[in-house]
Structure 1
Amino acid sequence: MIRVLVIDDEALVRTGFTHILNAADGIRAVAAVSGGQAVQAVRELRPDVVLLDIRMPDVDGLTVLSELRRMPGPPVVAMLTTFDTDAYVEAALRSGAAGFLLKDTDPEQLPYLIRTLADGSTILASQVTRTVVDGFLGRGVRDPCAVRLVDRLSERERAVLALMAEGLSNAGIGARLHLSTGTVKGHVGAVLEKLRVGNRVQAVLVAERAGLLRSPEDGADR
């Protein structure tokens, strides 16, 4: 059972997401609270996945995210918002969010997205994917620090990281590389440790800044 906590300042949003999630097999919305109750609710309920509104009147969602990430064994956090500007995407992902969903996400897809997050994969709303790829990542400029970190990876770990960037789950990576899910999980853990990051999204950002994910065509254009 995947335990989900919804944090949003709008009662209608909280109610809607709760009904959708509780109707799905293997998922339970353990609570839906406003921003001021967020940190305490996470401490008491220990959810696996948190859907966190990035902009709330009583508390800043990014501040809540930072507090959650400092907890021992923090939950997977996906930012939930109607905003898709570069600043919000950058701030959320660099602060350790594992995903970025818009509030108008198709209700039928929401349970799948929750399962994907719980599996350790990255979720980005299609509307913000281009921002991540072409916006604040600084394409065309390699970060020497990121290059040094990526150079620590083995060939297999680089292959795993490239598939992480495609948004594949551990099972999906295993199928592509003909590895067991357990083996992939070990490689993912090694990648995160060597890149000194806390989740897959941050690992992909390091890989992008190092130039690992660029195609030959990208290089030819510069």
Structure 2
Amino acid sequence: MHRFFISKDNIKKGNIIITGDDVSHISRVLRIKPGDDIVVCDGQGMDYKVVIENIDKYVVRTRILESRASDGEPGINAVLFQGIPKSTKMDVIIQKCTEIGVRRIVPVETARTVVKLSSEKDEIKKVERWQRIAEEAAKQSGRGIIPKIAIPKSFDEALAEAEELDISLIPYELEKNNNLKMSIHGKKAESIGIFIGPEGGYEDFEIKSALDKGVVPVTLGPRILRTETAGSAVLSCIMYEFDEM
């Protein structure tokens, strides 16, 4: 069944209206008609099965048939602190990590980040695009929320945010003893942070800063993963360990 996100403000007395780009997508692309059922989500973890009552140029009007908590939301709050990569790699990272269950993605400018956003306007434009990718991936994968893509932060700012989480991990190629499973197995955590560097990884002083802030270094084994692979690999392991896969 087709799925769409709406603002909670669009829910009124047993009815839900759909506005914006989804209107033309519903009527012209999907050719959904009055009388058809769809699922809408309020982006806060609630799904609504609705029947379409009317479609005009700007609004789709629906009536709620039933409501329930979204099945697609993991219990663990996973935050990805992703070093900004080159080209369109961030698009893939956002898409795949959204599908797996990440709650929030923080783009991070590190010492080896090649892509530098020159102005606040560039940052906002980039984040708006990334947020649209997250929304499309959330629709496709049956998520109950759309992961929030943050405005890019410095590495120190990301470390400060990570201090609010129960556990934070940083894959590090020089770590030989502490593997990912050892770091999360049996842990009672509601939130977990994942630090992934850009192409070229982290500088030594960044690793030291992370360790000083209590971030746990882990090895991912004998294979070196690309930046666009590492986040989704670690996130998948976390979801499995916390019985979310």
When the two structures are superposed, what TM-score results if normalisation uses the length of structure 2? 0.29
Higher relative contact order (CA 8 A, sep 6+): 2
Structure having the higher strand fraction is: 2
When the two structures are superposed, what TM-score results if normalisation uses the length of structure 1? 0.31
Structure having the higher helix fraction is: 1
